[in-house]
Amino acid sequence: MTSPLYELKLRVYWEDTDGAGIVYYANYLKFLERARTEWLRSRGHDQSELARAQGVVFVVRSLAVEFLRPARLDDELIVSVSDVKAGAGTLTLEQAIMRGDERLVSAGVKLACVRIAAFQPSRIPRALRALFSG
């Protein structure tokens, strides 16, 4: 994985854990989603604004996740976005969840751009694609 383009710091709360006191696996997906959303926002593209103004949203097309080590209650985590590649209608990126220098989760994510009205594939708006390419 290359250097992160964006990092989101978060803490593990009781609600994130399962009966064994570790983060429930599906909650890692929520953490990854939050980082992607905040990464877009940090680049001036609020997702609700994209939906309203451009009529498009990004949906997860595919996801490959490796759960390497568990996170636990009260852990401080850093969720990153890196290595973004833009296609005509897709974004492919790498994400990681770290506790300090320890990698807990690695994920490869492919997002598809879709038109809200018909929920059909769409090209990524030009200005947005240029942002990802540069």
Q: What are phi and psi of 31, to 5 degrees?
A: -60, -40
Q: What DSSP state is assigned to residue 16?
A: G
Domains and CATH numbers, the chain: 6-133 (3.10.129.10)
End-to-end Cα spacing for the chain: 18
Catalytic residue flag (residue 16)? no
- Sheet strands (E) in 33-101: 56-67, 76-86, 90-99
**pLDDT tens column, 16-60:** 999 899 999 999 999 999 999 999 999 888 889 889 999 999 999
Please pick, among 18, 75, 83, 101, the residue that the annotation labels catalytic.
18
**pLDDT tens column, 87-102:** 999 999 999 999 999 9
Other C-beta atoms lying within 10 Å of the C-beta of residue 24: 13
Nearest to 112 by CA among 90, 87, 85, 133: 90
